[in-house]
Amino acid sequence: MTPSADLLCCPICDALHRLDDLPDGRRARCIRCNTVLGTGKPEAITRIVVLAATSLILMTIVVFYPFLQLRQGVFTSKASVFDTVMTFSSGAMAPLSIAVGLFIIILPVTRLALLVWSLFPLSIGRPPWPGASRALRWSEVLRPWAMAEIFMVGVAIALVKLADLATLTMGPAFWSFAAIVFITALGDTQMSKHTIWTALDDSTR
């Protein structure tokens, strides 16, 4: 089958639309369910790449810098995300350690790296790197499994419970992680699949 550039299926309700070239800054919405189908902004690609690259850099801070510090009298305890992941690394809880590491660090990093790999050359007007479309498809497959924000919700609940028991100080990793959650959400709002895939298609021709 050959892809049709002007026919577009709504990802939510499956309504089929005929989509002409969109002027810059305009959005096309589904006539049935109002989902955004495409944006007329090629800059959206640059924005996605910049946001993904920023998150990748912040991720290095998340892994290696202190996340939280607890103080209770003379007792002080510091923990990084890496320590948190390694807490359950031995015994029967080891699979939990692997799962936490996978969902909050490895999968989000993989997804961000795939996004940068597939879209960075487009953002500077170059032909895409090999495997760009496969990388982009995998970044979409991984999206539901990258659960950094769910980890942050868990941390927030734990903080409320701990606040009465000890003095808590948030480390640089905590703020980086919060920034990543925000930046990822912002990046996802820029992800008009139709715009990105059409740009990738056009650049390989």
Give whichever of 8 and 155 is closer to Zn ion, judged by the CB atom: 8
Give the per-residue SS3 of 124-172: CCCCCCCCHHHHHHHHHHHHHHCCHHHHHHHHHHHHHHHCCCCEEEECH
SS3 assignment, position 116:
helix
Using rule CB under 5 A, residue 33 touches Zn ion: yes
Give whichever of 47 and 193 is closer to Zn ion, judged by the CB atom: 193
Using rule CB under 5 A, residue 27 touches Zn ion: no
Q: Is the dihedral of CA 5, 41, 129, 58 positive or negative?
A: negative
Using rule CB under 5 A, residue 30 touches Zn ion: yes
Using rule CB under 5 A, residue 153 touches Zn ion: no
Residue of 26, 27, 29, 32 that binds Zn ion (CB under 5 A): 32
Interaction mask 6-25, Zn ion, x per CB under 5 A = ----x-xx-x----------
State the Cα–Cα distance between residues 47 and 33, nearest whole angstrom. 26
Interaction mask 59-98, Zn ion, x per CB under 5 A = ----------------------------------------
Give whichever of 13 and 159 is closer to Zn ion, judged by the CB atom: 13
Could you tell me which residues are beta bridge partners of residue 17?
8
Binding site for Zn ion (CB under 5 A): 10, 12-13, 15, 30, 32-33, 35
